Amino acid sequence: MRAKSEIPTGWPSVLLGEVVCVSSEKVEPGTVPRARYVGLEHIESGLNCLVGHGVAAEVRSAKSVFQAGDVLYGRLRPYLNKVLLAEFEGICSTDILVLRCTSDIIPAFLERLLRTPAFLNWAITNSAGINLPRVSFEKLAGFSFLLPPLEEQRRIVSRLDKLMERSRRARTELAEVPAQLAQARQSLLASAFRGDLTASWRTKRKADAPLVVSDGAASLPLPTGWAATKLHNLVPKGGLFDGPFGSHLKSDDYTDSGVRVVRLENIGHLSFDDEKRTYVSQEKHRQLHRHSVCSGDLMFASFIFEPIRVCILPSLETKAIAKADCFCIRPDADLIDKRFLCYQLASPRIGHALAAHVHGATRPRVNTTQLRETSIAWCPLEEQREIVRRLDSALSRLDKVAAAQAAAIAELDRLDQALLARAFSGRLVPQFASAPSRSTRPVLKPKSYLTQLVPALLRAHGASLTLDQINTAVAFLHSPRTVRQRITADLGASEAGDHFADWHQAHEDGALTDAINTLLKTGTLTQTPPRKGPVTLHLVGKLPPIVPEVEADARHLASIVQHIPAEAVTAEAPRPQPGRRRQTVLTTA
């Protein structure tokens, strides 16, 4: 819990149910057949993003009605964090809560609040149900949070959007990486089994002629010293078999422990998925012993998709058998390296060749006979091992890129959550970004104010500015409101414009010179004497105590100080001039 002193001023603690209500309006889809329909499947998890929508005519039973500006919250499996700010009216699943804001909170602020780590944890903790956990609005209504004023809500939303836009752009670019990597892997495999990968290697060696000749295998464009042969020529008798079909192995035979069953779910593209584990008893294993598989066997999934699913079986914790549609291949080690064969079976050429022989409309697959007749590009063992070595190295580099991509996505998730947490604790935008009223802003004498502002401005800007730039910035502060608004609008600096909209501060001639001289004497600043250009001030020492309001002024000035046109403010406000003691005090409205 935050200490009371850390709670931003003007941010009362409220319950969600005090500022938000849930709509109970329902409608039969048939009465509004053209209305847009939003289901949970249409809301992207963790992002304020709609990935499509349906129409009312496609769904049945009563649905919830929502309007543009409502916030849609997925109450089923709240850990999926599905939240959407509706931009149009329509109907939605009853597993989506339609939340409407009171006048105390804006919808965009609410939508972002519902994606914070604190709210996500609250929703998960208060959900009920094991397989299909849901959370009710009554539970969500008890969530407590700090509620800033409406204007500050808008600034928080604006700042979050700008920061998270960078995250969205990064996600878009990172989302393209898996497809690019998949294409690179397939191109690499295709190159390897055309002989391109080892072309330079062959020129340095005179490889032995093939020991197996082509026997009617499909003609393949192969380099000198290579041959095409059918898979059955490379596998001894009994070295290619399927798992038990039909009643020989049923789901009722599965147990919690015993002998492992290798299933289609375990066979990936050049990888084995060990997470999904199924077992049969020792007695059942004895009945199905001829379907036993062991470490080092090639496992090939009969269902032909792109990419082909084939891998080498790793060492398992128990004995194992293959299930139906899981082909086991044990090649002759004197003829072909099993990893060379595994890589080749995963290549695009093999996939295209087998796809021409698939049967089954809904589950396209091949049988062991078709697999035996597959043409394999064959070369001497020495070159096979060199191809495997080069593929291992190249694919390892691609795997590192994939790991880096996954880590980058995770880091973006972490940064987004950190931004949300910071925003809703009052630490993302300056609390005084709207310039507090004269009654709440501390009254500082001109010199005292500038003694704090100048070093704060230098720090916010990057530790150095010219004296002319500081003069122009101070003149900008004391320009009429209309001038400040026109300048910030021209610069596209909406945050600075909002900040200085109602800015009030006394000005006194000579105060800036006195403040700078004081800072130079105390060692807070140093200056670079001009040779051909202007005097430059540098921040070098410890800063004097600075009140938050002056710190906020400095942050906003730093964003525009280099772009303020001096001629635009000189005529409107007296620029601080050294040596003048007119003691005129101006206040701006």
pLDDT tens, per residue, the chain with 589 residues = 454 446 677 788 899 999 999 999 999 999 999 999 999 999 998 877 899 999 999 999 999 999 999 999 999 999 999 999 999 999 999 999 999 999 899 999 999 999 999 999 999 999 999 889 999 999 999 999 999 988 889 988 988 888 888 888 888 899 899 999 999 999 999 999 999 999 999 888 765 444 444 444 455 678 888 999 999 999 999 999 999 988 899 989 999 999 999 999 999 999 999 989 999 999 999 999 999 999 999 999 999 888 899 999 999 999 999 999 999 999 999 999 999 999 999 999 999 999 887 876 667 889 999 999 999 999 999 999 999 999 999 999 999 999 999 999 889 888 888 888 888 888 777 654 444 443 455 667 888 888 889 988 988 888 788 888 888 888 888 888 778 888 888 888 878 877 887 676 767 778 888 888 888 888 888 888 766 668 888 888 777 788 888 888 888 898 888 888 887 776 554 444 444 433 333 222 2
Distances from the Cα of 425 to the Cαs of 11, 71, 398, 421, 531, in angstroms?
A: 9, 21, 41, 6, 48
Q: How many CB atoms lie within 10 A of CB 580?
A: 13
Helix (H), strand (E), coil (C) string for 389-412? HHHHHHHHHHHHHHHHHHHHHHHH
Tell me which DSSP letter residue 56 carries: G
pTM, rounded to two decimals: 0.59
**Cα(74)–Cα(83) distance, rounded to whole angstroms?**
6
Q: What is the pLDDT of residue 213?
A: 41
The helix or strand, by DSSP H or E, that contains position 227, with its residue range, turns out to be: strand 227-230
Q: Are 253 and 284 in contact (CB under 8 A)?
A: yes
Enumerate residues 6+ apart whose C-beta is below 8 A from 19: 101, 102, 104, 105, 147
Q: How many residues does the chain have?
A: 589
Burial of 194 (0-12, 13-18, 19+ CB in 10 A): middle
Q: Are 272 and 293 in contact (CB under 8 A)?
A: no
Q: 548: closest CA among 420, 465, 424, 427? A: 427
Residue 361, both tokens: 């409309």
**Cα(199)–Cα(220) distance, rounded to whole angstroms?**
16
